[in-house]
Amino acid sequence: MTATPPELARFSINQETVRQLSLPALAEACGELGVTQAGLWREPVRRYGVEAAARLMGDAGLTVTSLCRGGFLTATDPGERRRALDDNRAALEEAAALGTGTLVLVSGGLPRGSRDLRGARERVADALAELGDHAAAVGVRLALEPLHPMFASDRCVVSTLGQALDLAERFPPDQVGVVVDTYHLWWDDQVPGHIARAGSTGRIAAFQLADWVTPLPEGVLVGRGQLGDGCVDLRHFRSLVDAAGYRGPVEVEIFNPGLWARDGTEVLAQTARRYVRHALG
Amino acid sequence: MTATPPELARFSINQETVRQLSLPALAEACGELGVTQAGLWREPVRRYGVEAAARLMGDAGLTVTSLCRGGFLTATDPGERRRALDDNRAALEEAAALGTGTLVLVSGGLPRGSRDLRGARERVADALAELGDHAAAVGVRLALEPLHPMFASDRCVVSTLGQALDLAERFPPDQVGVVVDTYHLWWDDQVPGHIARAGSTGRIAAFQLADWVTPLPEGVLVGRGQLGDGCVDLRHFRSLVDAAGYRGPVEVEIFNPGLWARDGTEVLAQTARRYVRHALG
């Protein structure tokens, strides 16, 4: 295992950035580069086995910085809602087993046929209330992630950091935090104030990086850019989050078929270099 | 010409919604349906001839509710910036010739390679300062349109109604107003307050309707939904704008290849019916 370069001390690779790598291949690539932190996703972890994944990460000296993702808490149908809550309880247990204190939540979009954004946001709050004690009991924080407004109807009715904080602040800070993701928030001129507010109330549960590039692909889900390829001032964002008192991992999470088509270890190495060049200093 | 049904008194059809119709065909279709207002676009108007278009509209009893569009005012290159300002001065003259008091402005995106959103927004303000007197002199208001944040990098660095108002309020209300377009603003929980603010300061220059539907197409430009096909609470929006004191036209502007592939007169009739069903009452 390579010693961690000091400039990568806070760097974490989100598994989805290099989804072409199996969990063992990810662990090996991280070892070669001196990367010591990774954010994981539930589906590949469950396929590998949660306990086995936890052992693999531990044996490789890797800290799991977050688990993606719970959420999808906006259903009005009682059965669907109960299943979603059960699934989030399972996700909390998985996060705890992996040793991460952060479960990323994507709130969910509008139910089919609904036009009631406010009601959907209130159902997210209701769900956080139902999950909060469980989260605290297993030492995992529910990290509410605002997604870009282009996802407001079909994925996430929480569109700004301000909205996420309005929801999170109804609960104790050890139960509910927020995710600051540059891809989703870069356009918002209110975000410096929101980041300061999130920091002062101890709510920043995760900080994630991706760049904004156009044209957006159909469906807009997998159009994120490698760091430095787009128009987000990543260094400025990092300085805002640092100034707000955040000292945790900086996780790079990019969904991009171009990156997925290449050698995963090479993409990881490039991502680490880009992180140093565009987010540090 | 059919008498205008009372429920269509404020209805205006934006030309781009039925772009398959030539200007004379649009005028004829409006006459058949009793539609008395239309928003026009510069390119088809210039192809037809500005004076000829003004005569055609007048002869058909049609009021031009807006001209789309000026803007694209964020260039840093001096030559490009001068050309953009000249083009906007020409657009003001065209609007005046058509008898509309509203020139819709799309601010422009980030120059290639730039990450400076704040600087780009300031250049928009500088351009409004340069254009304001000309606008007042010809009796046309510069109507700054916030576009959805998914267009922030490549089309419009003004992403919220709050940002648009912050810019507009630096200038006299007869020179600079804002456009309230449901497609761009529907996701924003701050928008009721912004609409009230825009109304109380006399800034609402135009009110446009389109619905939000997914999945978004590649490039995300022409993915707007026919009224009622998506998740925007159009009636609520209209009630907010009315409560803010706006009494002007309600213009339907939908970019949708599915609508463009159909008979334009039939699309216009459908749009008017949808307007009555989903935006009134």
User: Whole-angstrom Cα distance, residue B32 to residue B4?
Assistant: 10
User: Whole-angstrom Cα distance, residue B144 to residue B103?
Assistant: 8
**For B219, phi and psi rounded to 5 degrees?**
85, -20
Listed residue (B101, B91, B106) closest to B37, CA to CA: B101
Q: Which of A114, A152, A231 sits opposite B153 (nearest CB)?
A: A231
Taking residue A61's Cβ as centre, other Cβ atoms within 10 Å add up to: 15
Confidence of residue A2 (pLDDT cuts 50, 70, 90): confident
> What mean pLDDT is predicted for residues A176-201?
98
> What mean pLDDT is predicted for residues A121-135?
98
> What mean pLDDT is predicted for residues A126-136?
98
Which residues in chain A have their CB less than 8 angstroms from residue B186's CB? 117, 152
Flag whether residue B110 sits within 8 Å of chain A, measured between CB atoms: yes
> What mean pLDDT is predicted for residues A158-176?
98
Domain count, chain A: 1
B189/A118 Cβ within 8 A = yes
> What mean pLDDT is predicted for residues A28-46?
98
Both tokens of B92, joined, read 């003001």
A189/B150 Cβ within 8 A = no
- Is residue A189 scored above 70 in pLDDT? yes
Give strand pairing partners of A70.
A105
Q: Provide the H-helix boundaries in B219-263.
A: 234-243, 257-260
Which residues in chain B have their CB less than 8 angstroms from residue A212's CB? 152-153
- Is residue A281 scored above 90 in pLDDT? no
Q: Determine the distance from the C-alpha atom of residue A17 to the mean position of all C-alpha atoms in its chain, rounded to a whole number.
A: 12
B216/A219 Cβ within 8 A = yes
Please report the residues numbered 215 through 274 in chain A whose beta carbons come closer than 8 angstroms to any beta carbon of chain B: 215-220, 230-233
Q: Which of A187, A217, A218 sits opposite B159 (nearest CB)?
A: A187
Interface test with B, best of A220, A236, A238 (most B CBs within 10 A): A220
Which residues in chain B have their CB less than 8 angstroms from residue A188's CB? 149, 159-160
User: Whole-angstrom Cα distance, residue B205 to residue B100?
Assistant: 11
User: Whole-angstrom Cα distance, residue A35 to residue A251?
Assistant: 11
A153/B212 Cβ within 8 A = yes
Flag whether residue A159 sits within 8 Å of chain B, measured between CB atoms: yes
Residues belonging to chain A: 281
Q: How far apart are the first and last CA of chain A?
A: 26
The tens place of each residue's pLDDT in chain B, 281 residues long, gives 688 899 999 999 999 999 999 999 999 999 999 999 999 999 999 999 999 999 999 999 999 999 999 999 999 999 999 999 999 999 999 999 999 999 999 999 999 999 999 999 999 999 999 999 999 999 999 999 999 999 999 999 999 999 999 999 999 999 999 999 999 999 999 999 999 999 999 999 999 999 999 999 999 999 999 999 999 999 999 999 999 999 999 999 999 999 999 999 999 999 999 999 999 97
pLDDT tens string A201-256 = 999 999 999 999 999 999 999 999 999 999 999 999 999 999 999 999 999 999 99
Both tokens of A251, joined, read 């996780």
What's residue A1's pLDDT? 66
Q: Tell me, what amino acid is at B234?
A: L
Asked if the structure places residue B1 within a domain, the reply is: no
ipTM: 0.96
Give strand pairing partners of A251.
A12, A208
Residue B108 burial by Cβ neighbours in a 10 Å radius (0-12, 13-18, 19+): buried
User: Whole-angstrom Cα distance, residue A233 to residue A236?
Assistant: 5
Please report the residues numbered 187 through 216 in chain A whose beta carbons come closer than 8 angstroms to any beta carbon of chain B: 187-190, 212, 214-216
What residues make up the domain containing A80? 6-279
Return the CATH number at B47: 3.20.20.150
Task: List, in order, residues 6 or more apart from A54 with CB less than 8 Å away.
Answer: A64, A97, A98, A99
B217/A153 Cβ within 8 A = no
Asked if the structure places residue A1 within a domain, the reply is: no
What's residue B2's pLDDT? 81
pLDDT tens string A49-69 = 999 999 999 999 999 999 999
